[in-house]
Amino acid sequence: MTKPFLVLGIESSCDDTSAAVLGDGTRLLSNIVSSQEALHAPFGGVVPELASRQHIRNIGPVVSEALQVAGINLSDLDLVAVTRGPGLIGSLLVGLNYAKALAYALRIPLVGVNHLEGHFHSPFLEYPTIEYPLLCLIVSGGHSSLYHSLQAGHYRLLAGTRDDAAGESFDKVAKMLGLPYPGGPVIDRLAREYAGAGIPFNLPKISDGSLDFSFSGLKTAALQAMQREGIAPVGKTGEISEPVRALVKGFQAAVIRQLLHRVESFARQLAPRSVIMGGGVSCNSELRRQSRELMAELGIACYFPSPPLTTDNAAMIAYTGYKLHRLGRTTPLDANADTNLALGEEFS
């Protein structure tokens, strides 16, 4: 039996340290994620300096575990793929420098990967037959971006983040209401449990007619609703009142309405074969339900990665690195991290 081509993926762009081993671009042999959620929870958001220090502690053990679970040694590796941007500079540098040192010591090539291209590819790990052309919505703590792609490697940004990213707005509204960090999963659960329609929110309008996403208006609307209706944040007892539940239900509905409004209008205009989603917010159960319903109505296939591949992970970086390497791309060992690395051309 010939030895598989083994890629080690490393991801450290924000607050998760992750390493994965992928065989022949198709077989995921391990995908280890060390979450820093508990470290940042008291602050209600990611603290960049704490994140980079924690990555330094985590990176060695996480890579060792990824190799061990995959049942391989360092010397078996053929390629190192690492997130080069976008993300937090201190966090990116930990993964990038670790990957460079490994590639140098093992005398194997390095491929720097765009984190967004990783999210874009994550559904392909489980559904390799997804058909192009497609629309891809990436919604996370740092991004709300909608891409159109005609074929592998082509990306056109249709709508980007105007202010707060979708996940950031979940986290900020949760913080305002005294709910734990990260806010997305908690709001998802509370909204699911609440039977009523929730407090109504109006969709924000961007005055220049742009289709970019804007969520900071919804955060302000949530604050105004708290003041108007006299809604107190969750106190020390942790008991969650009915008005808090009604508020998060209405807020989540408004976020989903905005996301799917953009997806629907571009889907009708561009008639893709598939719609795919990635990033932490795409774990949202109501977003998944409504997306599936809408795409069934439009006759478009719709794919979501399973939760471990939806949030930040190194499997998607290994997969993307493998694809880029097959196209002949490698990254020199003096390459730097790029906090604002963009993906694809802009829509005009």
Q: Does 198 bind ligand KG4 (CB under 6 A)?
A: no
Q: Does 204 bind ligand KG4 (CB under 6 A)?
A: no
Alpha helices in the chain (DSSP H): 37-40, 48-70, 89-106, 115-126, 166-176, 183-193, 216-229, 242-270, 285-298, 307-310, 315-326
Instruction: Sketch the per residue contact string, 287 through 326, with Zn ion: x for CB under 5 A, - otherwise.
Output: -------------------------x--------------
Residue with tokens 């009708």: 268
Q: Does 160 bind ligand KG4 (CB under 6 A)?
A: no
Q: Does 11 bind ligand KG4 (CB under 6 A)?
A: no
| Other Cβ atoms closer than 10 A to 34 | 18
Nearer to Zn ion, 96 or 267 (CB): 96
Nearer to ligand KG4, 23 or 44 (CB): 44
Nearer to ligand KG4, 106 or 176 (CB): 176
**Residue 218 token pair:** 């919804």
Q: Does 331 bind Zn ion (CB under 5 A)?
A: no
Q: Does 258 bind Zn ion (CB under 5 A)?
A: no
Q: Does 183 bind ligand KG4 (CB under 6 A)?
A: yes
Q: Are 348 and 119 in contact (CB under 8 A)?
A: no
Number of residues binding to ligand KG4, judged by CB under 6 A: 19
Nearer to Zn ion, 12 or 140 (CB): 140
Q: Does 185 bind ligand KG4 (CB under 6 A)?
A: yes
Q: What is the C-alpha to C-alpha distance for residues 293 and 310, in angstroms, rounded to an integer?
A: 20
Q: Does 283 bind ligand KG4 (CB under 6 A)?
A: yes
Q: What is the C-alpha to C-alpha distance for residues 300 and 318, in angstroms, rounded to an integer?
A: 28
For residue 115, the minimal CB distance to Zn ion (Å) is: 6
Omega before 182 within 30 of 0, i.e. cis? yes
Nearer to Zn ion, 140 or 161 (CB): 140
For residue 104, the minimal CB distance to ligand KG4 (Å) is: 28
Eight-class DSSP state of 237: T
Instruction: Sketch the per residue contact string, 237 through 256, with ligand KG4: x for CB under 6 A, - otherwise.
Output: --------------------
- Compute CA distances 320 → 8, 161, 207, 268, whole Å: 11, 23, 37, 29
In the region spanning residues 214 to 253, those forming contacts with Zn ion, defined by CB under 5 A, are none
Q: Does 86 bind ligand KG4 (CB under 6 A)?
A: no
Nearer to ligand KG4, 212 or 312 (CB): 312
* Identified binder of ligand KG4 from the candidate list 12, 17, 36, 140, rule CB under 6 A: 140
Q: Does 170 bind ligand KG4 (CB under 6 A)?
A: yes
Residue with tokens 């080069």: 84
Q: Does 140 bind Zn ion (CB under 5 A)?
A: yes
Q: What is the C-alpha to C-alpha distance for residues 315 and 30, in angstroms, rounded to an integer?
A: 8
Q: What is the C-alpha to C-alpha distance for residues 293 and 287, in angstroms, rounded to an integer?
A: 10
Q: Which residues contact 14 (CB under 8 A, 6 or more apart)?
A: 46, 51, 87, 88, 91, 141, 142, 312
Q: Does 91 bind Zn ion (CB under 5 A)?
A: no
Q: Does 305 bind ligand KG4 (CB under 6 A)?
A: no
* Identified binder of ligand KG4 from the candidate list 11, 117, 188, 212, rule CB under 6 A: 188
Q: What is the C-alpha to C-alpha distance for residues 253 and 149, in angstroms, rounded to an integer?
A: 27
Q: What is the C-alpha to C-alpha distance for residues 347 and 160, in angstroms, rounded to an integer?
A: 10
What residue ranges bind ligand KG4 (CB under 6 A)?
Answer: 14, 140-142, 167, 170-171, 182-185, 188, 279-281, 283-284, 311-312
Q: Rule CB under 5 A: which residues touch Zn ion? A: 140, 312
